[in-house]
Structure 1
């Protein structure tokens, strides 16, 4: 049942139709676009945060040490957008996926937004993988997997936005899951411009994000854009976020983007995929991809400051989205996503 979409192309790419309003309708950009673009600052290598940096730590090996997942149980049939949104999901989070589909993610289907211009094509893809069964009986495990497969296939048939990887889903596999999704994207749509990785509990001001990317496209051509941790980020040697010294020996991570949402340019994404077979990955996905891999690949890191939020930022208000003072926000409760969306629909926020 697995398919290799690198051999059976599912995307068509026309770079001349990705952002038709960029030159024909400059006045269509949000008034806040220039201000957002001016807030985007480059973050250099802050080596004083990793004083125990070891020689060769950011150098790929000659041999192949990692392989990404290239077998897919379900793939979407989509045309190539300007921006592709990847949301790492799990099988039993249908409610969360539907919430995104019915709010900010609806732009992927309609290419419209209440009261706003959408100046480039955008698509949303939910990335899932098989759940590890806890059933000791092999037959029960098989039946359970078949039920999951049928349920997700039905959802995929209805929405055409599921990428189902043939791998076991777990936090320890999160880096592998996202990088494997990146590989599928490059194999099937190499001419898109940007990929947004976003968590399920995050609201995305899509019109403002698109305008900011279009406005700053040449500057962000080889980069990652996100809320950057520039302080000392300690490496955990135990618990959920455990990283063994054999995988990363230093006590602190280099500067990196918050995992709730960051934008990767296609050029940077491609460079990561070229290098990753020769570098041992670890499970803290954001620190690895936007921190370590950025050092290895040499692309730029940009921060829009408080325009993007992170998991410690619980103080921002929903009306900041409506008034274009926030591009991406991690919500503290599920209802907040619907409330923000309703403010756009009603064209008012209080």
Structure 2
């Protein structure tokens, strides 16, 4: 009898201890859950607004920009020349190669001149986060609300004009190129820039003009030929790989867009050809200065092309023909150019 009673008391004691432990831990967890959280301050930055809010007539009214939140526009003085590089959102490695070669942010003319590269990319839903991360690391990627398709090249080129005139309104001209281009910076700074600097107040575009200087666009070229057949007359437009445009010319072209709601023509002939002609923008043709300015388009590796020709201003990498492995070419060509500078 006494043995059963002691066992019963022992069981009751153990049960009481178990209940106390459960109550203790429940109370402890309740305090932990209701304890006020310590606020964590996270610094966030928003992209700067354009210094000048331009009137956006016609098709320009639908264009929106997304800049890097770390882009300090007030740091770019008038002796900094903007270079707008049209790039596809997926060409992340190519942009990195350009930053580390010809697009490296350095000074020229005894520190009196700088060139600043800006990459203008279109929208790609699959790459939104990667582009945002690239913008957070670098201050040179501008995303525009235009699909990354050849059919929208005209919109992209007009976006470059609009961005420069909105965000860098005090700059008198800008250069436009593409991410499949490797530039000889020695010739650009010493020979090309003095030409545009001498006419920066004029209403003018400087580049290669003429039928023999048109860049083939693969299957897209069929669309170009269909929309603008030879019988329609000779439309004099700039080769898209590189040209310079003054602020006055850009303003005239954008003003001409006020009655245009849809662009049906291909980019190259429309912007620097049809639209330029209607806006009465003058041209300066580099094709008349072959002793100073030459180019190579998909002929041979740029490393070889620059080695053979000291007057070569630009050369296209294999990205121009669609190669996904073009990045090493930028470094190979740059090593040759460094030896020439």
TM-score normalized with structure 1 length: 0.65
Preserved contact between residue 69 and residue 167 of structure 1 (Cα < 8 Å): no
Deviation track 1:255-288 (CA, whole Å, cap 9, x = no partner) reads: 1111111111221112111112224534522211
Deviation track 1:287-326 (CA, whole Å, cap 9, x = no partner) reads: 11111122111122112234142647659821367x4x12
Structure exhibiting the larger radius of gyration computed from Cα positions:
2
In the alignment, the residues of structure 2 paired with residue 69 and residue 247 of structure 1 have an alpha-carbon distance, to the nearest angstrom, of: 26
Preserved contact between residue 4 and residue 71 of structure 1 (Cα < 8 Å): no
Partner of 2:21: none
In the alignment, the residues of structure 1 paired with residue 213 and residue 102 of structure 2 have an alpha-carbon distance, to the nearest angstrom, of: 34
In the alignment, the residues of structure 1 paired with residue 179 and residue 258 of structure 2 have an alpha-carbon distance, to the nearest angstrom, of: 28
In the alignment, the residues of structure 2 paired with residue 207 and residue 253 of structure 1 have an alpha-carbon distance, to the nearest angstrom, of: 34
Q: Look up the SS of the partner of 2:59 in the other structure.
A: coil
Partner of 1:284: 266
Preserved contact between residue 227 and residue 310 of structure 1 (Cα < 8 Å): no
Partner of 2:315: 329
In the alignment, the residues of structure 1 paired with residue 299 and residue 230 of structure 2 have an alpha-carbon distance, to the nearest angstrom, of: 29
Superposed counterparts of 1:1-350, under 5 Å: 8-9=49-50, 65-75=58-68, 76-78=71-73, 79-80=75-76, 82-107=80-105, 110-111=106-107, 119-131=112-124, 145=125, 148-211=127-190, 212-219=192-199, 221-230=202-211, 241-242=222-223, 251-279=232-260, 280-305=262-287, 306=290, 307-309=293-295, 311=297, 317-319=305-307, 323=310, 325-332=311-318, 334=326, 335-345=328-338, 347=339
Structure 2 residue runs of 5 or longer lacking an equivalent are 1-45, 320-325
In the alignment, the residues of structure 2 paired with residue 88 and residue 222 of structure 1 have an alpha-carbon distance, to the nearest angstrom, of: 23
Question: More helix by proportion, 1 or 2?
Answer: 2
- Tell me the number of residue pairs that the alignment of Structure 1 and Structure 2 aligns: 270
Preserved contact between residue 4 and residue 72 of structure 1 (Cα < 8 Å): no
Q: Look up the SS of the partner of 2:198 in the other structure.
A: coil
Structure 1 residue runs of 5 or longer lacking an equivalent are 12-63, 132-144
TM-score normalized with structure 2 length: 0.67
Distance apart, 1:336 and its partner CA: 3.7
Distance apart, 1:217 and its partner CA: 2.2
Distance apart, 1:175 and its partner CA: 0.8
Preserved contact between residue 227 and residue 308 of structure 1 (Cα < 8 Å): no
Q: Which gives a bigger RCO, structure 1 or 2 (Cα 8 Å, sep 6+)?
A: 1
Preserved contact between residue 95 and residue 179 of structure 2 (Cα < 8 Å): yes
In the alignment, the residues of structure 1 paired with residue 178 and residue 196 of structure 2 have an alpha-carbon distance, to the nearest angstrom, of: 24
Deviation track 1:114-161 (CA, whole Å, cap 9, x = no partner) reads: xx7565221111111212xxxxxxxxxxxxx3x622211111111100
In the alignment, the residues of structure 2 paired with residue 232 and residue 202 of structure 1 have an alpha-carbon distance, to the nearest angstrom, of: 15
Distance apart, 1:338 and its partner CA: 1.6
Q: 1:156 to 1:249 in 2, by over 3 A?
A: same
Distance apart, 1:209 and its partner CA: 1.9
In the alignment, the residues of structure 1 paired with residue 210 and residue 333 of structure 2 have an alpha-carbon distance, to the nearest angstrom, of: 26
